[in-house]
Chain A
Amino acid sequence: MQYLLLIHHDDEALAKAPPSLWAEYAAFNAALAKSGVGTPGLRLEHASKGRSITRRTGAVEILDGPYADTKEQFAGYLLVDVPDVDTAVQWAIRCPSAHYGTIEVRPLWAMAPA
């Protein structure tokens, strides 16, 4: 089963993170690769650098910045292929970002074989 781990960071908490955070991330990525469940995730630039687009009303609306003004902003993601949701949750617990925000674990929509 494939699960996407969606990482949401709290800017204030992340700003106070110790320098060892990146060493822990390196170790996390090494463990991820070694166990064969996934590859290092993709980190996004800050939400303020994004654009939000909608055509709900028919007209194109483009807004600068995040989609929603929440305390925790979407910061990156990684894909794991594991037997069950509990194993995916274990990886979310191991992810260093869990200390500075929330990790959402979402199963990928299972496509019917073509």
Chain B
Amino acid sequence: MTASGDTARRTAERVARDSYGRLVAYLAARTRDVAGAEDALADAFASALQTWSINGVPDVPNAWLLTVARRRLTDAARRRQTQAAGKAHLQLMADELDDAAHQHDDIPDRRLALMFACAHPQVERGMRAPLILQTILGLTAQDIAAAFLISPATMGQRLVRAKTRLKEACIAFAIPERVDLPDRLDAVLEAIYAAYTKGWAEIDGTGAPLADEAIWLGRLVVSLLPDEPEAKGMLALMLYAEARRRARRDSTGFYVPLEQQDIALWDDWQIDLAEVLLDEANACGPSGRYQIEAAIQSAHVARRRLGAQTWPVIVALYTHLETLTGSPVVTLNRAVALAELDGPEAALVILDGLSDDRRLADYQPYWAARGHLAARAGRHADAHAALTLAIGLATDDAVRHYLLAQRAALLAD
């Protein structure tokens, strides 16, 4: 590839990363056809690579792409509708897109509107996060499938289905009424957080970029809806987790639990930002699940950094979260925190109460926690059995090796 070809590719990649969502939003604003808009944009990127490497990169690459994509769209629409009514519509669309192409400032509400469209109740719950990731970030079905552990072909089919569903339902890219916003916002936050947890779990490979994208989306939502405390809570929660990314593995790739992490490896800047966001969120009224989870992380930070005795606060926060969510995972976390106050036996009583919950039968953290608590309580046989199940259920190699080492240490005791 020539130097100019290289520049063209780099510019195209940068534009794709920075403006993809906005460009799709513009193109789909009137037609409501996200798939069509993406196809047109893909064509535009393809011709950009060819044209820019020959003629150089234009001053406003976004506008160039939008113009080419718009032409593709209007051509396609023209093939579909020949009656006079269609012409007026096309003219209107062309004018609107022209306007958009010549505005260099962000119109973030369009982007947000697109996210809300993706989080529409008509879209299958599990597809909201992938759809947001694809339409807002331009991740490929391949990337998303890798993050969501589904075959690229299946993910591709599902994305197409979800987009068709959006189009059939004629879901306008409009900001929902104020009264509908909380419901929709929940879905948007849930989708973003789902994407983040996928990215968090993957220490290498596809994980970190996906986590970055989720944080970026979180920042976007916070900047657009500054009065929504849960949006800030979720962004804070993601930042607390992200701040510890480097500390989660040692130099040999070995898993390091929170208690043993080197806090010098934590990212202070991300933690500070999270603390500010959490303060702002807490000032806004009653706390939702993300704020509570962020507050728990904040308490862990204070404990590890300052040696503050924050376990009682952590237990209280988990208790509150438990009543809010009814989630057995929250109960599990409360038990683990309680062990720091009342000892492992007290925690094991709670875990025993969960042992019939089918949802936890193949939940690796449950068995890992059970193994650690039983070991601390001196119940070696129980610990061995639970750690064995945790080893069998682990999908992360580093975690599996850590658990194997824990079990080996048990035998050495």
Residues of A near any B CB (own CB < 8 A): 20, 23-24, 26-32, 34-37, 85-86, 89-90, 93-94
Contact B149 A93 (CB under 8 A): yes
Residues of B near any A CB (own CB < 8 A): 149-150, 154, 361-362, 367, 385, 388-389, 391-395, 400, 404
Contact A29 B392 (CB under 8 A): yes
A-B contact pairs, 8 of them (CB 8 A): A27-B389, A28-B392, A31-B389, A35-B361, A85-B150, A85-B154, A86-B150, A94-B395
Q: How many A-B residue pairs have CB under 8 A?
A: 49
User: For the complex, what is the distance from the CA of A29 to the CA of B392, rounded to whole Å?
Assistant: 7
Contact A34 B361 (CB under 8 A): yes
With A30-B388, A90-B149, A93-B149 already in contact, the answer to whether A23 and B393 are too (CB < 8 A) is: no
Across the interface, A23 reaches (CB within 8 A) one of B361, B362, B404, namely: B404
User: For the complex, what is the distance from the CA of A78 to the CA of B69, rounded to whole Å?
Assistant: 49
Contact A27 B392 (CB under 8 A): yes
Chain B: which residue is nearest A32 at the CB level? B392
Contacts of B150 in A (CB 8 A): 85-86, 89
Q: Would you call the interface of chain B mostly helix, strand, loop, or mixed?
A: helix
User: For the complex, what is the distance from the CA of A95 to the CA of B102, rounded to whole Å?
Assistant: 54
With A35-B361, A86-B150 already in contact, the answer to whether A24 and B391 are too (CB < 8 A) is: yes
Chain B: which residue is nearest A23 at the CB level? B404
Contact A93 B392 (CB under 8 A): no
Closest 3 CB pairs of A and B: A31-B392, A27-B392, A27-B391
Contacts of B362 in A (CB 8 A): 31, 34-35, 37, 90
Contacts of A89 in B (CB 8 A): 149-150
Contacts of A94 in B (CB 8 A): 392-395
CB distance from B283 to the nearest CB of A (A): 40
With A86-B150, A93-B149 already in contact, the answer to whether A31 and B393 are too (CB < 8 A) is: yes
User: For the complex, what is the distance from the CA of A90 to the CA of B385, rounded to whole Å?
Assistant: 21
Contacts of B400 in A (CB 8 A): 24
CB distance from B362 to the nearest CB of A (A): 4
Across the interface, B392 reaches (CB within 8 A) one of A30, A85, A86, namely: A30
Contact B392 A36 (CB under 8 A): no
Chain A: which residue is nearest B149 at the CB level? A89
Greatest chain A CB density within 10 A among B367, B392, B404 is at B392
CB distance from A97 to the nearest CB of B (A): 13
User: For the complex, what is the distance from the CA of A85 to the CA of B145, rounded to whole Å?
Assistant: 13
Contacts of A31 in B (CB 8 A): 362, 367, 388-389, 391-393
Chain B: which residue is nearest A37 at the CB level? B362
CB distance from B322 to the nearest CB of A (A): 24
Contact A86 B388 (CB under 8 A): no
Contact A34 B389 (CB under 8 A): yes
User: For the complex, what is the distance from the CA of A26 to the CA of B384, rounded to whole Å?
Assistant: 13
User: For the complex, what is the distance from the CA of A94 to the CA of B385, rounded to whole Å?
Assistant: 18
Contacts of A37 in B (CB 8 A): 362
CB distance from A38 to the nearest CB of B (A): 11
